[in-house]
Amino acid sequence: MINPLLEHNTLPPFNSIEPEHIVPAIETILKALRVGIEELLETRPYNYESVVKARENLEDKLHHAWSPVSHLNSVMNSVELRDAHTACLAMITDYYTEVGQNRPLFEAYQAIAESAQYDSLSQAGRKVIDNALRDFRLSGIDLPESEQARFSELSREISGLNSAFNNNVLDATQVWQKLITEKSGLPGVPHNALVSMHQNAVDKELQGYLLTLDAPCYLAIMTHCDDRTLRQELYTAFGTRASNLGPNAGEFDNSDVIHALLSARLEQARLLGFKNYAELSVARKMARSAEEVLGFLDNLAEKSRAFARNDFETLVAFAEKSGGPEDLKPWDVPYYAEKLKKAAFDISEEELRPYFPAPTVLKGMFEVVRRLFDIEVAPCDGMSVWHEDVLTYEIRKDGVAIARFYFDLYARASKRGGAWMDDCRVRRVDDSGSLQLPVAYLTCNFSGPLGDDPALLSHNEVVTLFHEFGHGLHHMLTRIDAAAVSGINGVAWDAVELPSQFMENFCWQAESLLFISGHYETGEPLPEDMLDKLLKAKNYNAAMMMVRQLEFGLFDFRLHVEFDPDDQNQVQRLLNQVRQDVAVILPPAEYAFQHGFSHIFGGGYAAGYYSYKWAEVLSADAFAKFLEDGIFNRQTGEKFLATILEKGGSEDAMDLFIAFRGREPEVEALLRQDGMVA
């Protein structure tokens, strides 16, 4: 049997990959990798090419095979694929743990760092060596053999628990459904959402409107449905996913997974000599200490809490005046917030949708980056895809292709919720001397096209699209050829959101909105009066959104600082305490948000969720420079490209920011952007 995962392909052959290919391919590649590592260690004297470059060439083969498998597990999940993914994840974790504890390999890197060659290497080359030596130490290279074995065991356990957490969230999200037989049962729900819910029912051979917990449906109910009881029902179902509460209580419960994950992380951190996992997490980040992170979050909370309370009091007063409940509940907040936005600014997300058809937004977004960075984005035919909805593009500079990417925009069954960017191929020079172009996966979960009409995006979804494309640009516009620090690789986690949040700003500028928007029937850009209203509403409830993100960030970070494995109730108690400190409205006791918090329990944001706000300070301060110079100022765009996007992880994030801005970032830039300072 020919195994497509073992063949050399410029791009993944998605139309050929089957679940039965996965385990044999990964086993074969890992076996060759182990042999290859042993062989490169036999070569003397050690130098960058014989060790670092040789290892990069070997591990790129693993990335070529694993990247599409990992991606398919997120976007086309099935029982067979999940089983193969889980089996291989354990094997890959074992491999990287072995490499991290391979003393001869560590000593080879150490020898290069101490050699005359080190000083002659490029900045990127030196950073690869420095990062690798740091990572060896954070992988337990200095531990006694028995503790190394325990560290390896914990790494495998953590990897499996991350996967189990995500599987539980996906299954809990997919299993909940509610059929509404009559349109009258969904009062206030916009036509576009009703058509989508009806299509959900048709797909299941049902009559009526099928409600799910996928983001487009959930948000439509929470924001627009006049039926308060139905809003509460969806709020409870969504907020108790994968927990011991709610409509599917205990069925996909992540309670034990969370406790086991936190315990394993803490034990690993202590093996390495850290007091807690937060300290270990910060060792790879831009922030200098756990205390600095907590001070940063507390400072933002202190400066935004009064504004958030004022926002909420205004909302409560409006709801009472509108005949709503005196005691506003969490399932009322999005509903009355949308009503207040309409009353205060005479604008709503649903009124904006017709002006943001997905094809127009994409074309406008590509025009933004053309003006900023002098690049062209064009459709790219011939790229194998995993679903008929997937769009494929390439980026060209001076007519030459420099990167490619996939856009998977729409929600569907067996696709993980949320939006993300991941790398498919990393820019590097391969072992034949050829340049490998960077390739990115860009994934969202919007409502798809209906009938002959294109998908119509809310403005919030437009912001999400720009956010993910910003991540993609960071990966694809790099000029660094060393894989370990090319694109998003090697970038401090609390700086990685800078380009994504930077790109969001162009969704709020009159000059760019003129070509990002266009009515799906007439092509007319957003009318001047609607544009004016949208911009006036920019900071609407910004403080409430700020404290919501600070709640997540403080909960995550404090949990990883304070976690005690012997305290079975600590997670919920700490979350309640953080909410008392910063939140403006508290959820009911039967709410289990943490059981679906995939960022920190199933992704890479453990003790790192603060990164969103940390990087938002960077992005707000960076964009302030564009506001000073003109949002499409070519010199400023080129400087951002040269100092931030092209450098990848080849230099420290703070040094790169200073190279662009001329100074360190200032928190006031974010507060000013969100309307919380004069």
Would you please indicate which residues are annotated as catalytic (active-site) residues? 468
Q: How many CA atoms within 13 Å lie on the side-chain side of 479?
A: 11
**Smallest Cα–Cα separation from 445: which of 435, 453, 455?**
455
**Smallest Cα–Cα separation from 639: which of 616, 657, 624, 654?**
657
> Which residues face 400 on adjacent strands?
397
Q: Are 255 and 243 in contact (CB under 8 A)?
A: yes
- Which helix (DSSP H) or strand (DSSP E) does residue 178 occupy? strand 177-180
Q: How far is CA 381 from the centre of its chain?
A: 27
| Alpha-carbon torsion (669, 671, 672, 673), positive or negative | positive
Q: Are 351 and 530 in contact (CB under 8 A)?
A: yes
Could you report how far apart the first and last alpha carbons of the chain are, in Å? 68
**Smallest Cα–Cα separation from 67: which of 439, 392, 358, 420?**
439
Q: Are 209 and 185 in contact (CB under 8 A)?
A: yes
DSSP output for 557-620: HHHHHH--TT-TTHHHHHHHHHHHHH-SSPPPTT--GGGG-HHHHTSS-TTTTTHHHHHHHHHH
Three-state DSSP at 330 gives coil
Q: How many CA atoms within 13 Å lie on the side-chain side of 73?
A: 22
